[in-house]
Structure 1
Amino acid sequence: MFLASRFTYQSRSNWRKILEEGKILVQGKPAKPSYSIKEGDEILYLPGDSFEPPIQTDFKILYEDTRYIAVEKPGDIPIHSAGRYRKNNLTDLLEEDPRFEKIYTIHRLDRETSGVVVFAKDPEAASKLADLFSKRKVNKTYVSYVWGNFPARLQAKGFLTSDPSSLIRKKRRFLSETSFQKLEIPEQDSETCETAFRKIGEGIFQGLSFSKVYCFPKTGRLHQIRATLYSLGFPLIGDKIYGKDERTFLEFIEGKDPDLIQKLGMERQALHSISLTFIHPFTGLITKIRSGLPQDFPE
C-alpha cells in the first residue's frame, strides 16, 4: 500500500482503517484501500481528532546560561514535531515552561537516542553554535551497546547510501571508500561519513556477548552511528531498524506488537549522547556538557 510505505508513522492496518473511515480523499472523493494511485492524483488526509503516543517527559536540565540550555533527553521522545508527535516532543514541552519562552533547535537526536541536546534561547545564539556543528568544531561522544565482540579500536571512513537489500525505505548502509568505488553508486545517493570507535567494555546479555563502545562521529549524518555499526556487523542492542532482524520493525509498524525485549534485547536502541564539548561562541570558554548512562542500559 502506497500510504504505508510512504508514511511509516502509521501501520498498514491503521492506514486501511483510516481509508475505510473515509478520511483519505483522492481527487476530492473518499478512496478505497484497493485504489491504485495514478500520476497526478491529489491525495488529501483528513485525520480529525487524534491521540498522540505517550512519551517520557522526565528530561533533566544539564546546563543553562543566558544564551543556551542543554537537556538530558530520555530515550522515548522526539526533538521536534514529526509524524504522530505534534505536541508530544521535547521542543514543545520546553516552550511550555515559562522560564524559556522560545527556544531554537540546533542539532537533533533520533527519537530513541537519549542524552545531551543543546538548544539556543535566541536566533543569534542558534546560528553561532549551529555554525560550529557544521564546521565540525563540536566534539561529540556517544556510548553504545552492540551485539558481538567489537575490536579494541576501529576507524570507519566512507559513505552512507540507501540500502537496496532492505524492505525499509529509510534504512541506510555504510560502505568503505573501496567498496563504494567498486559499486559505482550515484553521487546523489550518498554522503561521506566518518566515525571513530573505541571498545570500553564487554559482557553477556541474554546469553549473548555484547560490547560497550564509545562512538566519536566526525560528521553528522542521518542514522550515521546506527547504520555504520550495523554494516560493520555489530548491530545496536534494541535497534528496530538496524538491529538483529529488521522484520521486527515491520511487525512493529504493522501494529503486531512484537516482544521487543525478547527479539532485540531492549525496547529502544542502546545509543546515548554522553557528552558535547565546544568553545562557547560568546564567552570563549571550553564548555563540556555530560550526561550519565540511562538506567535501561545493560549493566
Structure 2
Amino acid sequence: MDVFLAFRFTYQSRSNWRKILEEGKILVQGKVAKPSYSIKEGDEILYLPGEIFEPPVQTDFKILFEDSRYIAVEKPGDIPIHSAGRYRKNNLTDLLEEDSRFEKIYTIHRLDRETSGVVVFGKDSEAASKFADLFSKRKVNKTYISYVWGNFPTSFRAKGYLISDPSSLIRKKRKFVQKDFFQKLEIPEEDSETCETNFRKIGEGTLHGVPFSKVYCFPKTGRLHQIRATLYSLGFPLLGDKIYGKDESAFIEFIEGKDPDLIAKLGMNRQALHSSSLKFIHPFTGIKTKIGSDLPEDFPE
C-alpha cells in the first residue's frame, strides 16, 4: 500500500505515506490499512488527513509589471503556482491574494514548481480569458534559459511528439520523439501531443569537472514538461531536474524520503529552468509589451 500511494500520489514520500498508514488515516473498504496491505481490484481507499502542515516555500517573489488588467510576477524557484497536493495555501496565487492590492487574481498559464521567472495573472476573468487566447493562438513569444549537461549544438529545432515513457519508473514522466520516428511507433493519437521547441546555445562551462551548456529555449507550443522532456530525450538533461535529470534515482529516493544529495547527483538543488521573458501585444491597449526577468542567483555562472 505504501509503495502504491508514493508512486500514485507523489506529493508525499513513501516514508510519509507509511507514517500516515501507521497513524490509521488510510482506510480500505472502511477498515484501517497497514503499509504491507496488498491492493486488490475494486478496493475503495479513503484518506483521512486531519490537520495538514504544508512545506515551506520561497516567498521572495516580486511584481515586474502591473496595470488595470494584469500583473506579471517574478516567481522564485521553489513555489507552486496554484493549490495542489500538499500546497493548499503556500502557493503563489493564494499568497498574491493575501496582498490587499489584489482582491482576486486569475491564473492564465503555469510554470512547474521549481521553474523560476515570469508568470502573468489576470485581475479579472475577461483579462485572463483574452490573455489565455493569446497563448492558445501562439501569439506569446516565450523565452526560457536552461542549463543542461553536455555540449549542446549551436542551434537545434525539436519538432515532434510528447508521449509517456514506459521505460521509466516515474509514472508521470514523458519523452520526446521526432516526427519521423513517431510515425513508426503506431501510438494512438490520444496518447500523444505535438510539440515544437527551438534551442540556441549561448554559453558553456564545467560543473564538478563535467561540461554543461547554457541554452535559450523558445517553445512554440505549451505542453506539460515540454522543455524538460525534450532536452532529456535529446540527451541533454537539465541540471538539478529530479524527474528529467541525468539520474532519475534521485527522484525515487526523494519521494521515499531518503534525502538524496541532489547537488552531488544532479548538480543543483532544483531544475535549472528560468522563464526569462514574455513578449506579446497587450490585449486591451494594443501596445507591444515585453516583460523580462534576470537570471536567478542559484544558477551557475
For 1:188 and 1:13, the matched residues in 2 are separated by 35
1:251 alignment counterpart = 253
For 1:12 and 1:201, the matched residues in 2 are separated by 39
1:206 alignment counterpart = 208
1:85 alignment counterpart = 87
Deviation of the 1:50 alpha carbon? 1.9
Letter in 1 for 2:20: I
For 1:5 and 1:208, the matched residues in 2 are separated by 31
Identity across the alignment (%): 85
Deviation of the 1:289 alpha carbon? 0.3
Deviation of the 1:229 alpha carbon? 0.2
TM-align CA RMSD: 0.8
For 2:78 and 2:225, the matched residues in 1 are separated by 16
1:2 alignment counterpart = 4
* Structure 1 residues 259-295: Cα deviation after superposition (integer angstroms, max 9, x where no partner): 1111111000000000001110000011110000000
1:144 alignment counterpart = 146
Deviation of the 1:40 alpha carbon? 2.8
For 1:16 and 1:76, the matched residues in 2 are separated by 25
SS of residue in 2 equivalent to 1:234: coil
Aligned counterpart for 2:294 among listed residues 281, 292, 295: 292
- Segment drifting more, 108-117 vs 200-209: 200-209
Report matched runs for 1:30-109 at 5 Å. 30-109=32-111
Q: Which runs of 5+ in 1 are unaligned?
A: none
For 2:126 and 2:51, the matched residues in 1 are separated by 37
2:217 alignment counterpart = 215
1:125 alignment counterpart = 127
SS of residue in 1 equivalent to 2:184: helix
* Structure 1 residues 1-27: Cα deviation after superposition (integer angstroms, max 9, x where no partner): 321221011111211111111101112
Deviation of the 1:187 alpha carbon? 1.3
Deviation of the 1:31 alpha carbon? 1.3
2:114 alignment counterpart = 112
* Structure 1 residues 99-148: Cα deviation after superposition (integer angstroms, max 9, x where no partner): 01100000000000000000000000000000000111100000000010
For 1:16 and 1:58, the matched residues in 2 are separated by 33
For 1:141 and 1:155, the matched residues in 2 are separated by 14
For 1:91 and 1:142, the matched residues in 2 are separated by 22
Report matched runs for 1:157-236 at 5 Å. 157-236=159-238
* Count of residue correspondences: 299
For 2:261 and 2:4, the matched residues in 1 are separated by 27
Letter in 1 for 2:279: T
For 1:203 and 1:2, the matched residues in 2 are separated by 41
Q: TM-score normalised to the size of structure 2?
A: 0.98
For 2:65 and 2:208, the matched residues in 1 are separated by 36
Q: Which runs of 5+ in 2 are unaligned?
A: none
Q: TM-score normalised to the size of structure 1?
A: 0.99
For 2:299 and 2:203, the matched residues in 1 are separated by 13
2:272 alignment counterpart = 270
For 2:260 and 2:188, the matched residues in 1 are separated by 36
Deviation of the 1:38 alpha carbon? 2.7
Q: Which runs of 4+ in 1 moved over 3 A?
A: none
Deviation of the 1:34 alpha carbon? 2.4
